């Protein structure tokens, strides 16, 4: 009941015309971000982050959150039309979306994708509404040792749940942690790894890293590999009527949407797993339980509904640890954490007590944003497709200039732009070698916090490390850490056995 009244308070906050406008603006930019290949939600959030500096916290966060979940809707448009996913979470949608478009059912595929995103997104927000407060209340009992344990769990989860090569994920994570130590030490004031450079005294902000690695590096790599996309006039013929799925089509995929939306949410809550893994898991699950698994990959509507529901569920799920614990589970969530700090709000267990209007306003905006998105993604798909067609030649220039100005405007510093270019080179190699970039970004954001909580804990324990074991919550988290560390080895053995 209390949750419901707080949600009403959130809707009251949202009634301000400027907040609603920012919500609309956010979801439109988000959809655009998803539509344009080479520009993911992380890059768009990073580029727009400096824009919110000094502005009203609620409208700023509503705008950025709208971009985040809006991108999940837009990504499927290019997946279906030209077999090029708008962002990594839309890769799986190409498996059945593109064959459907080849069969002349591209409009139906996009309609099913939009409705799956809407239903799963709404399920995700409802679960977020119900779960966030109890988790935050539990986290109020946490002190520095418990926070250290939670951060450790986050990093280990990123390594073991990432699903890729363990060495590569570890490189990304450790590099990010090392970058986070650059600058003045918060406890002693001693400059670290600055090598006499004044510009490094304030540390390396995560923003140049995100813009370089997710924005510019993506464009440079596309050019270097000659992998552009080509959308002809014929291919881009989509009208509004063809995007609206028939009730029969929707009823057929509804169980898939509900299953995959819920599963996506659960995966999204876990740090490191994220929406990409959720989409692959959902697709695999649907294929496995289907009576006709051979039809998957040949234009099965459930093959479109499953990943689209999962990535939207996962996107909402990522807000649970972000709002309740102040811990981001993905690179985009890490940028949102940075956004909270930029507007002077510290996400975490006290957020629901100290800023109820803000946090409930943000949650309420997700309900409204999802409704806006379903309208935009059915009524304006032809407009997005047109924009995609005309932007083919100029996208690289648009993204590059936005990356430079966005980074510069953070501190009005050309040194930040220089750092962004350095991270572009790092990002290029990461993509070339299939090294995940998310652990690096999360490590840059949380690196200072884990070190600070460890040193605070050691001061509390007077240097006695074994006192961590006297805290029951820490012990439970450490056991989960050990189990998670064992997971990749168990997985490896199973693979060998098979």
Partner 1 sequence: MTSRRIFSVALAAAGVLGIAGALQVDLTARRNIGPGAMPLIYSCLLLILAIVFFCIDKGEGTLRWSSLWTPPARDGLVFFGLNVLLLVMVYLIGTAAAIVAFSIASLAYLKRMPLPRIVLFSVLWACALYVIFVVLLKVPFERGLLFGR
Closest to partner 1 by CB, 174 vs 266, is: 174
d(CA 289, CA 493): 26
Q: Which of 8, 18, 224, 486 binds partner 1 (CB under 8 A)?
A: 224
Six-digit token string for 429: 């190699």
SS3 state at 409: helix
Contact 25, 70 (CB under 8 A): no
Instruction: Give the residue, chosen from 171, 240, 266, 467, that forms a contact with partner 1 under the rule CB under 8 A.
Output: 171
Q: Are 244 and 379 in contact (CB under 8 A)?
A: no
Q: Between 20 and 178, whose beta carbon lies closer to partner 1?
A: 178
Residue from 282, 404, 446, 484 touching partner 1 (CB under 8 A): that is 404
CA proximity to 66, closest of 54, 55, 74, 56: 74
Least distance to partner 1 from the beta carbon of 83, Å?
19
Rg (CA), the chain: 22
CA within 13 Å, CB half, 164: 20
Which residue in 233, 462, 494, 495 binds partner 1 (CB under 8 A)? 462
Is 202 an interacting residue with respect to partner 1 (CB under 8 A)?
no
CB of 48 within 8 A of CB of 26? no
User: Measured between alpha carbons, how far is 245 from 247 in angstroms, rounded to an integer?
Assistant: 6
**DSSP string computed for 343-399:** TT---STTHHHH-HHHHHHHHHHHHHHHHHHHHHHHHSHHHHHHHHHHTTTTHHHHH
Residue 216 lies near partner 1 (rule: CB under 8 A): yes
Site residues (CB under 8 A) for partner 1, limited to 415-454:
417-418, 421, 424-425, 428-429, 432-434, 451, 454
Min. distance of Cβ 388 from partner 1 in angstroms? 16
Write each residue from 124 to 163 as x if it is in contact with partner 1 (CB under 8 A), else as -, in one continuous string. ----------------------------------------
Task: Give residue for tokens 């209340």.
Answer: 137
Residue 199 sits in the site that holds partner 1 (CB under 8 A): no
Based on CB atoms, which residue is closest to partner 1, 171 or 202?
171
Report yes or no: 408 and 416 within 8 Å, Cβ to Cβ.
yes
The 33-62 contact track toward partner 1, x by CB under 8 A, reads: -----------------xx-----------
Minimum CB separation from partner 1 for residue 391, in Å? 11
Please pick, from the candidates 83, 88, 181, 236, the single residue that binds partner 1 as defined by CB under 8 A: 181
**Coil, strand, or helix at residue 195?**
coil
DSSP 52-85: GTTS-HHHHHHHHHHHHHHHHHHHHHHHHHHS--
User: Which of residues 17, 104, 226, 344 is near partner 1 by CB under 8 A?
Assistant: 226
Q: Which residues bind partner 1 (CB under 8 A)?
A: 50-51, 167-168, 170-171, 174-175, 177-178, 181, 185, 187-188, 190-195, 216, 219-221, 223-226, 393-394, 396-398, 400-402, 404-405, 408-409, 412, 414, 417-418, 421, 424-425, 428-429, 432-434, 451, 454-455, 458-459, 462-463
């Amino acid at each position: 009941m209390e949750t419901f009244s707080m949600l009403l308070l959130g809707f009251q906050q949202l009634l301000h015309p400027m907040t609603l406008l920012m919500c609309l603006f956010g979801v439109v930019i988000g959809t655009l971000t998803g539509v344009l290949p080479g520009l993911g939600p992380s890059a768009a959030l990073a580029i727009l982050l400096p824009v919110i500096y000094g502005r009203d916290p609620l409208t700023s966060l509503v705008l950025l959150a709208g971009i985040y979940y809006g991108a999940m809707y837009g990504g499927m448009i290019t997946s279906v039309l030209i077999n090029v996913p708008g962002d990594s979470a839309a890769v799986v949608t190409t498996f059945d979306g593109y064959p459907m478009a080849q069969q002349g059912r591209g409009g139906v595929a996009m309609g099913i994708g939009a409705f799956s995103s809407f239903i799963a997104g709404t399920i995700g927000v409802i679960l977020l509404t119900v779960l966030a407060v109890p988790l935050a209340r539990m986290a109020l009992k946490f002190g520095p040792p418990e926070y250290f344990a939670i951060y450790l769990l986050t990093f280990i989860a990123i390594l073991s749940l990432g699903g890729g090569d363990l060495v590569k994920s570890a490189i990304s994570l450790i590099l990010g942690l090392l970058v986070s130590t650059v600058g003045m030490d918060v406890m002693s004031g001693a400059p670290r790894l600055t090598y006499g450079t004044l510009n490094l005294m304030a540390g390396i902000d995560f923003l140049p890293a995100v813009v370089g690695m997710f924005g510019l590096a993506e464009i440079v790599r596309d050019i270097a590999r000659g992998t552009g996309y080509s959308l002809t006039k014929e291919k881009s013929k989509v009208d509004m009527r063809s995007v609206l799925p028939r009730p029969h089509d929707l009823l057929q995929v509804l169980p898939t949407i509900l299953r995959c939306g819920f599963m996506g949410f659960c995966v999204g809550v876990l740090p490191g797993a994220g929406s990409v893994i959720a989409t692959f898991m959902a697709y695999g699950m649907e294929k496995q339980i289907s009576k006709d698994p051979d039809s998957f990959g040949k234009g099965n509507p459930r093959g479109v509904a499953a990943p689209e529901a999962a990535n939207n569920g996962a996107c909402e799920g990522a807000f649970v640890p972000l709002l309740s614990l102040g811990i981001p589970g993905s690179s985009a969530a890490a940028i949102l954490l940075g956004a909270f700090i930029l507007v002077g709000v510290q996400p975490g267990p006290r957020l629901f007590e100290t800023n109820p209007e803000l946090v409930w306003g943000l949650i309420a905006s997700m309900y409204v944003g999802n409704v806006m998105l379903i309208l935009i993604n059915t009524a304006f798909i032809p407009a997005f497709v047109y924009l995609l067609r005309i932007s083919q030649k100029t996208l690289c220039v648009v993204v590059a200039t936005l990356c430079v100005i966005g980074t510069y405007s953070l501190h009005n510093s050309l040194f930040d732009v220089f750092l962004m270019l350095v991270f572009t080179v790092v990002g290029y190699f990461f993509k070339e070698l299939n090294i995940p970039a998310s652990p690096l970004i999360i490590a840059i954001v949380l690196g200072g916090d884990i070190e600070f909580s460890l040193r605070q804990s050691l001061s509390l324990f007077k240097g006695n490390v074994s006192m961590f074991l006297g805290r029951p919550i820490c012990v439970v988290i450490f056991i989960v850490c050990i189990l998670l560390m064992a997971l990749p080895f168990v997985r490896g053995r199973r693979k060998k056995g098979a």
